[in-house]
């Protein structure tokens, strides 16, 4: 197998000269550079990428940790990261966790082993205490959540404020009995949404009106079925995903439930499906979130950046 020493011997130069040519060093005589390049071609020599990365101390790769690849919200975050990474000549290394703690830790272990130059955490399962040891190194970690810390890097949607705006909007429309469809109860973003929902003044909150495990269109169908079977029903539902809202709206049509006369729905994301189906939705700038997360990865030091949501009124409230 051809190695850098073999190239040097064949070209009649030192190993350091070959190394300088491979790394584009300017201080190499042109005749020697030409001989080295011709020898590399003749011997069909290729550099070991891992060795190059170790010698340079960087990989030009960034790890992206996200629970699912098939949800539009995370797809948009990933697209934003990819756009900025391409500009900076970085490659993405994806870690899909399915919200399993051990799968998430695999990404942090890769960071510790210097297999990636940093991590962007689109959604987190492990607590910060479990991750503390990984965060003490010099490789940046960017969290896509509001960590309320000046010592960490975080770019986030203010989900507490967004939920409060959604509830105030529904109150202005005359609604008081409001239910909630949410992904999960754990996780900082979900906790912020739940806290805003329970703390908001002037609305009636009942546990049976809170529907969890809402990720996909079929979950919206399930929720509509559960809503129909309630003895006392909420007048409206806040749904944290357009996909779920679309499934609920479709199932309402099949079951003859009039939207919004019998049940109003307000969603989040403002993905194309919400415009197609006429769903009132808050635009969540998830692609911008991804872009900003990568830019923050490139910057020096800790930082916090919050992004705002925008309401698009359509026909479901």
Burial tier of 258 (Cβ tally within 10 Å: 0-12, 13-18, 19+): exposed
Class of the domain covering 4-47: mainly alpha
Confidence band, pLDDT 50/70/90 cuts, at residue 112: confident
Segment 98-105 shows an average pLDDT of 93
Q: What is the pLDDT of residues 41-98, one digit of tens each?
A: 888 887 665 555 555 568 899 999 999 998 999 999 999 999 999 999 999 999 999 9
Domain layout of the chain by residue ranges: 4-47, 58-158+287-308, 159-285
CATH, domain range 159-285: 3.40.50.2300
Residue 23 has pLDDT above 80, yes or no: no
Report how far residue 51's alpha carbon sits from residue 49's, in angstroms, rounded to the nearest whole number: 5
- Give the pLDDT of residue 302: 85
Q: Which residues contact 49 (CB under 8 A, 6 or more apart)?
A: none
The confidence score (pLDDT) of residue 31 equals: 87
> pLDDT, tens digit, for every residue of 280-303?
999 999 999 999 999 999 998 888
The domain 58-158+287-308 is classified under which CATH number: 3.40.50.2300, 1.10.599.10, 3.30.70.1340, 3.40.50.150? 3.40.50.2300
What is the pLDDT at residue 88?
94
State the chain's mean pLDDT as an integer. 91
Whole-number pLDDT of residue 54: 52
Pick the more confident residue, 238 or 55. Answer: 238
Q: pLDDT band at 6, cuts 50/70/90?
A: confident
What whole-number percentage of the chain has pLDDT above 90?
Answer: 70
Q: What's the mean pLDDT in 178-193?
A: 93
In this predicted structure, the answer to whether residue 275 has a pLDDT above a threshold of 60 is yes
Question: Band of the pLDDT at 16, cuts 50, 70, 90?
Answer: confident
Q: Do domains 4-47 and 58-158+287-308 have the same CATH topology?
A: no
Q: Which of 259, 279, 253, 275 is nearest to 267 (CA)?
A: 279
Rounded mean pLDDT, 241-267: 97
CB under 8 Å to 84, separation ≥6 — which residues?
A: 290, 291, 294, 295
If you search the block for the tokens 């002037």, which residue do you land on?
202
Side-chain half-sphere of 243: how many Cα atoms within 13 Å? 15
Q: Residue 32 pLDDT more than 90?
A: no
Mean pLDDT of 175-198: 94
**What phi-psi label fits residue 68: left (phi over 0), alpha (psi between -120 and 50 degrees) or beta?**
beta
């Amino acid at each position: 197998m051809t190695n850098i020493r073999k190239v040097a011997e064949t070209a009649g130069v030192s190993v350091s000269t070959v190394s300088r040519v491979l790394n584009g060093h300017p201080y190499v005589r042109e005749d020697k550079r030409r001989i080295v390049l011709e020898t590399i071609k003749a011997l069909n020599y290729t550099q070991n990428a891992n060795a190059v990365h170790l010698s340079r101390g960087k990989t030009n790769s960034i790890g992206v940790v996200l629970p699912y690849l098939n949800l539009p919200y995370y797809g948009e975050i990933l697209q934003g990261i990819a756009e900025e990474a391409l500009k900076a000549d970085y490659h993405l290394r994806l870690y899909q966790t399915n919200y399993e703690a051990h799968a998430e830790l695999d990404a942090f272990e890769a960071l510790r082993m210097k297999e990636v130059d940093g991590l962007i955490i689109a959604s987190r399962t492990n607590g910060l205490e479990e991750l503390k040891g990984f965060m003490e190194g010099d490789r940046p970690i960017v969290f896509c959540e509001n960590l309320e810390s000046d010592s960490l890097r975080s770019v986030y949607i203010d989900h507490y404020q967004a939920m409060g705006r959604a509830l105030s909007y529904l109150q202005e429309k005359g609604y008081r009995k409001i239910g909630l469809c949410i992904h999960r109860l754990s996780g900082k973003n979900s906790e912020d949404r739940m806290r805003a929902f329970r703390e908001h003044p002037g609305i009636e909150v009942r546990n049976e009106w809170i529907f969890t495990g809402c990720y996909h269109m079929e979950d919206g169908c399930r929720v509509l079925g559960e809503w129909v079977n309630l003895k006392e029903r909420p007048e409206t539902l806040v749904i944290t995903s357009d996909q779920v809202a679309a499934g609920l709206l479709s199932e309402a049509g099949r079951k003859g439930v009039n939207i919004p006369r019998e049940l109003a729905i307000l969603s989040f994301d403002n993905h194309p499906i919400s415009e197609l189906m006429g769903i009132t939705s808050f635009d969540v700038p998830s692609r911008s979130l991804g872009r900003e997360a990568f830019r923050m990865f490139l910057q020096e030091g800790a930082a916090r950046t919050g992004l705002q949501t925008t309401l698009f009124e359509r026909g479901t409230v």
